[in-house]
């Protein structure tokens, strides 16, 4: 069959093109079309391609007949640009704070122009942040399975800014400064407050990790199978990983009493809430038997 590939941009120099594909619309799959385009233009590998019919994106694994396409019809092509794997994106995002916090913490003279002894609050906060992002890196490599393999490379800078600037430089500079050093009045914390924050942090981090393992086990390797998540945390909300991470950063925010930690907490929780509501609505739309009592992110609330 013949299929016309038209460009989304009128300025395209490569398209339109006509592909000769072996088989009927019921036999030709979307990835067959993508492979034919990549064969003609090797730089346009599969992850870089977006094919649509009347604004409906074509999904790999489906045939052309699934979209009502016939011999001689046309589909629209968009070049998504150079891609980068999501695993690499997360490693870069979480790697920023793992570099920035040690630099600010261990080289105070470079950042503040003086040396000083860190307070207990600063030290506890430092290890909270470091262990959190080390856990995130471990999960990225050994736990997470990604439904989407890549994202446009240009987006990595925007995505990383949240972690490198807000939870990285912003948090480190204002928390580890001499105004919070040993002996400073701003650094005084009761033992009950410190140990309470540590306890909440440990509970939240372990619970968050457990949630990620549960989500991983829902999807066998190499598949995109989707199931209703169940078990610890999911009896309350659709996204317990976001809820537990909220508790983790709440512990940091309360312990530091710093506006920088409060700022990051508000931005991070706001973004996670947006993601949670979107996932919650997706679950309810996809699964007719989805538990009605579950909230999106905050138990018994929303």
Per-residue model confidence as pLDDT tens digits over 148-202 = 678 888 888 888 998 999 999 999 999 999 999 999 999 999 999 999 999 999 9
Nearest C-alpha neighbor of 15 from the set 31, 3, 23: 3
Cα–Cα distances in angstroms (integers) from residue 12 to residues 16, 43, 145, in the given order? 8, 15, 35
Question: Is the per-residue pLDDT at 86 higher than 90?
Answer: no
- Does residue 124 surpass a pLDDT of 90? yes
Q: In the prediction, which pLDDT does 183 show?
A: 96
| Residue 9's pLDDT band (cuts 50, 70, 90) | confident
pLDDT at 7 over 80: yes
pLDDT tens digits for range 254-295:
999 999 999 999 999 999 999 999 999 999 999 999 999 999
Please report the pLDDT score of residue 193 as a whole number. Answer: 98
Instruction: Give me the pLDDT at residue 150, please.
Output: 82
Strands (E), 91-224: 150-152
pLDDT of residue 195: 98
**Model confidence band, residue 222 (pLDDT cutoffs 50, 70, 90):** low
Per residue in 194-212, pLDDT tens?
Answer: 999 999 999 999 999 999 9
Residue 169 DSSP class? I
Residue 297, preceding peptide bond in cis (omega within 30° of 0): no
What pLDDT, on a 0 to 100 scale, did the predictor assign at position 91? 95
pLDDT at 13: 85
Which residue's entry shows tokens 């996204």?
239
How many whole angstroms separate alpha carbon 147 and alpha carbon 238? 18
Domains present along the chain, CATH in parentheses: 2-80 (3.10.20.90), 84-286 (no CATH)
pLDDT above 70 coverage of the chain, percent:
98
The continuous run of DSSP H or E covering 19 comes out as strand 17-20
**What pLDDT does 267 receive?**
96
Per-residue pLDDT at 197: 98
Distance CA(202)–CA(212), nearest Å, equals 16
Give the model's pLDDT for residue 158. Answer: 84
Q: Which tokens go with 4?
A: 């016309």
Among 57-66, 68-77, 216-225, which is the least confidently predicted range?
Answer: 216-225
Q: Retrieve residue 181's tokens.
A: 């050093």
Per the rule left: phi > 0, alpha: psi between -120 and 50, beta: everything else, 13 is alpha
Query: Rounded distance, CA 188 to CA 145, Å?
Result: 43
Coil vs helix vs strand at 4:
strand
| Mean pLDDT of the 103-131 span | 98
Nearest to 244 by CA among 284, 215, 282: 215
């Amino acid at each position: 069959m013949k299929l016309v590939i038209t460009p989304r941009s009128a300025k395209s120099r490569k398209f339109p093109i006509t592909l000769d594909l072996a088989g009927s619309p019921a036999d030709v799959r979307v990835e067959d079309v993508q492979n034919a385009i990549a064969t003609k233009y090797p730089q346009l590998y599969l992850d870089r391609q977006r094919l649509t019919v009347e604004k409906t994106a074509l999904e790999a694994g489906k045939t052309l007949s699934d979209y009502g396409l016939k011999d001689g019809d046309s589909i629209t092509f968009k070049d998504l640009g150079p891609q980068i794997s999501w695993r690499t994106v997360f490693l870069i995002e979480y790697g920023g704070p793992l570099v920035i916090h040690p630099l600010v913490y261990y080289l105070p003279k470079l950042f503040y122009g003086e040396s000083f002894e860190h307070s207990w609050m600063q030290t506890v906060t430092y290890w909270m942040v470091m262990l959190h992002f080390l856990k995130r890196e471990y999960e990225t490599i050994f736990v997470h399975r990604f439904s989407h393999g890549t994202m446009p490379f240009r987006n990595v800078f925007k995505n990383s800014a949240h972690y490198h600037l807000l939870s990285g430089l912003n948090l480190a500079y204002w928390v580890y400064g001499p105004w919070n050093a040993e002996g400073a009045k701003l650094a005084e914390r009761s033992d009950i407050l410190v140990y309470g924050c540590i306890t909440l942090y440990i509970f939240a981090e372990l619970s968050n990790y457990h949630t990620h393992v549960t989500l991983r086990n829902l999807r066998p390797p190499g598949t995109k199978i989707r199931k209703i998540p169940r078990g610890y945390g999911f009896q309350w909300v659709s996204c317990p990983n976001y809820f537990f991470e909220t508790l983790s950063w709440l512990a940091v925010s309360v312990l530091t009493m710093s506006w920088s930690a409060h700022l990051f907490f508000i931005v991070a929780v706001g973004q996670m809430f947006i993601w949670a509501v979107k996932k919650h609505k997706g679950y309810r739309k996809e699964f007719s038997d989805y538990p009605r009592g579950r909230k999106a992110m905050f138990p018994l609330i929303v």
